Structure 1
Amino acid sequence: MLKPSKPSSLLAALLLHPGSVVSTGYLLRALWDENQPATARAALQSCVLRLRRIFVKYGVSGDVIEAVPGGYRMNVDAGTLDLVRFRMLVRAADTAGDAEGELYRLKEALTLWQGPLLANVPSLMLHRDEVPGLTEERLRTLERACDIELALGRCRQVLVDLWEAARRHPGRERFSEQLIEALYRTGRQSEALAEYRAVKGRLKEELGIDPGASLQRLELSILRGDDLGPPALDQPAGPLEIAAPVRGAALAADRDDGDRAEGDGVRVTDRPVPPMLPGPAALPGAPVLPVPPVPSFAGRSAERADITARLTECSPGTTLVVLSGAPGIGKTALARQCAHDTQDSFPGGVFVIAMTHPDGTALTPAEATAHLPRPGAADGRTLLVLDDVTTADQVRPLLPAVTGGAAIVTSRRGLAGLMATHGGSVHRLSTLDPAESRQLLTAALGAARVAAEPAAADELAHVCGHFPLSLRIAAARLLTRPGLRVEDCVRWLAEDLPARLSLADDPRMSVPQVFGRALDRLEPRWREAFRRLGDHEGLLVPAHALGDSPEAEEALERLADAGLLEEGPPGPYRIHPLLKIYARRQAGDRNDREAATVPH
């Protein structure tokens, strides 16, 4: 094993992207972060040569590190790198065809994880930007394996794994839910309830939120002494968490990625949906589990009032409301809060459906329809919340299911085509104003902490660009560091925006990743156009900023439609400061690739 050193950081950076070209700019940041010396490129080449000599010394081909235009590539396969084999086994598990075969492959994959990640790697950047994603891959695999063990009736056998997982990762409710279910199914009702109350107390004390709807349903089933029936096996790729509505039932979903975590305190999850448990939500006349309010929700008073009025108006058709805007602007939070505000007007139920899979691919209308009530089955008006829609064609086939009810659609796009065919209202969300940002910080941090440093709190809101996602991330950092002054947090964040607007233990709570996912949905030519805006001076973007060709004009329109620019013809476009910094960073990486020469 290499000692902690620049070569070990370089090797880790290459191995984390097996078989892919790793840009010179990325490698320089992996070795020196933002404090790169003037001789950084020469030192990088020296590190590469040193690694090659070490490989030759131990009988490994020296050309395993390949110099390519723009950077380097590490040529490894499943026989030489555990990460490649892990991912290969997980993919094989998805296509196993039977539970036993899937579980066997998942367990084999999990055995490849030994000790802490990158233990001998000193790179701050890799620990900050790469380790959370790798941790997420492992935990999702472990969750899935435990789901299968429960479904196969091996509740006693899986208890040890679940005790350890729930204690090591208290922020992941699914492990606690699995543990509570296993305890109850093995006849340990009192221990199951004690575990639930411990989870509920921790969430309330640390985050000011209640357990998710699935955990609440499980608690009620345990209190009633319900027979949960044989455990059902989830579909591994399901991105939904919805309630099967009956009379009076109105349940909402937690979301599963950064953009859905964009809002003011929305709890996030990235796991398959647990089976619906028999109990209150599935029996006529049973107690209602309501759509909870969004914790620390602030601002949006005018939009909230208008949406509430529209949703509660009874009309023969379907009331349609579209919330659009930049990634991280708070679309999901507003949609959930409005669903909470109006749920009593929808006795047929509230359905919240994530319209993208965890990997970013769009949900098909058929996949979404499978989780909606059959026409005429719902008893009363229903509300449909379609979150993170990518195209109008995803929405149109679903609207007949809520005829006479209402639908809220969130999307980074304006969905003008949907408005043209179905009418409705569109709310293009902008950033919070200073007063609203102060309200959010006060709700999240507490009035005393904000009042102790009011000027610093206002500066924090300014540095965060008044983006709800940015503010929530900054507030979470301060909450977990009660001794940290707001002023010091502001200074630290401002030194490296937007990279430092991220949480190490949750890769979805990251402004760069949310922006990156939005950019990845665009065609390569539109992504390149966005990067070119990083070289443009100022925040106002005139119509000729990318040239006078029709394609340059279309590029700006595409970026505006994707939420990466605002306004537009006949006036100039505008780019938000955080997006401008991100574009400049993207442009810098591109320039690094173009300027790099192949070292000898």
Structure 2
Amino acid sequence: MRFGILGETRAWHGGGEVPLGGPARRALLALLLVRPGEVVSADRLAEEIDPAGTRSAHSLQSQVSRLRAALGDGAAIERAGAGYRILVDPQHLDASRFERLAGEGRAALADGDAGRAVVLLTEALELWRGPALAALPESETARAAAVRLEEHRLGALEDRIEAGLRLGEHRAAVPELRELVARHPLRERLAGLLMRALSAEGGQAEALVMFEETRRHLADELGADPSAELTALHRELLSADPEPTPAAPPAQLTSFVGRADEVAEVAEMLRVARLVTLIGPGGVGKTRLSVEAAGLVGTGGAAGGPANQVCFVELAPLRDGAGLPQALLAALGLRQNGLQMDGGATTPVDRLIAALSDQVLLLVLDNCEHLVDDVAGLAARLLTTCPRLRVLATSREPLGIIGEHLFPVRPLDADAAVRLFSERAAAVRRGFTAGPGTVRRICAALDDLPLAIELAAARSRTLDVDDLAERLDDLLGVSRGNRTADERHRTLRSVVAWSWDLLSASEQRAARRFTVFVGGATAESAARVCGIDGGTLESLADKSLLDAVGGRYRMLETIRAYGAERLDEAGEQDSVRRAHAQHLAELVRTADPHLRRAEQLEWLPVVAAEHGDLLAALRWAVREPEVKTAFELLATAFTYLWIRGASASVAPTAIELLTAVGEAVPDGLGEEYATCVLLAASASGDAGGQVWQRHRAAAGKALAAAWPGDRRGRHPVTLLLWMMRNAVGPDPQGAYELVSSQRDCPDPWARAAAHYVSGFGHLGKGDPEAAEDAFGRALDGFRSLGERWGTALALGSLADTAGARGDRTRAIALTDEALVLTGRLGALEDSADLLVNRGDHLAGDDPAAARTDYAEAAALARRAGSSTYLAAALRGLGDMALAEGDLALAEQRYTDALERTDPHWIKSLGPRVRALTGLGRVAAARNHHAEARRRYRQAAEAADTVGAPVPEVLRMLGLARDVIESVLRPRHRAGEDGPHTGVGAAARPR
């Protein structure tokens, strides 16, 4: 038998409804079903059934007997003490089924499975047939039970709408959300969902109005301000130029000919579809069409639609799919690491999802054909998890995933091809004239492919158009000789080869050597690596073999691939690539000391411009017998890679290099070897951990030999990162002594870093005054160099020591100063870290400001895709909820934080210990003492991993005395050994 109380009280048995009788019996059944299996007193039943009090106990017994008769064997109504209870399988009661399905749907939503969440939540909500407990007379008890069920219903409805928004169903959700917000104007989650839906559909202004209306309602009705989450969403909508800035489509230097209708059609497709792929042969103009369509979408010109942010990602330089996520991160302007190492706790794909989950963005993926499987998998995952994302791809073949809309790009029509040739030829030859028939013959011979036409038109500068047409005819047999080859090889390759053959010997030599540059080059770099003079570079640019943009020369990928084959045939590949690698090594070697001084901001973009070539040089050096060059490249680029958060981009190459050399330290390269081990260990997954375990001991010995204390090594940043990587591990003491022994080192940056590390040693020994002195010396050292990264580290640590002794004003001022520096560096993760610290300092005196900082930190961490810093922010929000007595929300925040921490990394220590302690306090508040003791024991075990006395670690984390005692007391009660002594943590553990 099935029962229903989500609406009129009803019962069903077999295929039909059971007649229950009059209102009294329906009310009696509803009261028993509110909490099936629990005893309801006879007095309460009589009162609820008849609030007027006219029914007697005998009358109640009579109603119970009649209800039993009506239900038959379908359910048992038992007399229990002074009342009655009904025994029903929860699966046979609609309210119980609703709560189970709603809970499973919410869990699926929390796990990121929006599709499953929609199915479960829709099924749950379909169980409702009207107002809950409609059969009950009006009473306080009935009203409370109905309010509880209706609240659950509204929460499930919000969850279902949020799941739909994550799947991109913004437009369908807006009318429903408008109605719900009108009925529940004080419900902030509904307001936030409506703001997101409106913003996704281009209604940013309306979303802002929605926020203002909600704020006014909250102030007028409750005298309260909007929550931190809603305020953070408001700030996001107000941000006209959010950081980081995605890479814009490349600026075009020529007119766009013949495809106006296609541009409008692609833009319209993007208005209704979330994935559009432009497919066609090489050289047909897919890239240019994608740029023009993206520009139209970006300005809001598609069918009068809203403007969209556009990010353009050029995939042609990638050799395999391993670097695909990093390429997207770089194009989005997202650093892969913060000031502190997070140990790969988050994969690049996870960071992408976190960064894009709430962004309205058009992602243009150009030249996908050589990575089609990898691009398809990543695009499918991003589109599934990021509901406001749209993707425009160019490829020779479809990506082949659900929801893909294909747009075949055809060659130009005859008139457009003639016009394109004539315009390009007129641009290079003043007074150009030609009969339309001759030009048409040239274009037809080139299959009306835009790139082929552009290359041919460039030659009209030195050849008469009739000669050009005749020479083209002579080469047609060669260019079309292999009909079985793919379209690019049958057309574009022949055009490139023909254009190549028209170059002089010196121009051919210059062009083939230039192919070693994957990201383009300045004239100076081209001269040093390839021996190309300025005149030859300009000549190649004039003939469309190179593009000159922004002071750099770049080669089209199709031409570069052809030229690389010519370089190999000439037997020059090794010599030119060696010169290229040596040039990159010299560049980063020159930049490295400047990156630790006041010139930091000027030199970072200089090295960043060569990032693609740095990776290419590393790949070549690893695969060829150039081990010394590879190690030196990695070591000299280490400061740049770490400050820019790009260490993960070279981690696979570092692992490959270590695999090639084995476990023996190369002679004279001990410090470089240690740097390589650090970079390899930053790889995500098991690979980095395995390399670390295998090479850590040898690398530590090599680094100690390179930095004996009385003379300087070559790479001081390696010292600091070595300490950070060893802080949670088997031998923090040795790593600490290695770094702190550099306090009298000749290198000023190393001296400052040594004082910085020494401060944590003093904290671990319970000497905060000595720690503050050490941090102050570090600050003076970094400031004397004008180095912002180290200065931010020292300021943050000084802020912590000030906060620990109760000087919150100084702590906040120092943190503010550090935040200015991380902002200049573009360090989103580190800004999030500092905001959490400032929130901790503010929590006691100004909880509203603290909550704002935690919320801002969470938003920054999500944008940067950093789970470590998001965990810290969620822990802070959990503290706020606990202080306000909201145990359920506090438990959720702490649990979410705990799931995002990595127990093997020092930066996760603080969030982990404090989240575990918070969960213990939640359990204690609920009188679940066994669970509280278990959580406290876990917190103490986590604090024990850094080698410092547990009480000192807990005080370093800013935990109050009563919390410290609650953590330690269960350890002693369980008979565990007391905390041992050792070295303090090597990085601020918050």
Short-chain TM bin: 0.3 to 0.5
Higher RCO (CA-CA < 8 Å; seq separation 6+): 1
Q: Which has the larger radius of gyration?
A: 2
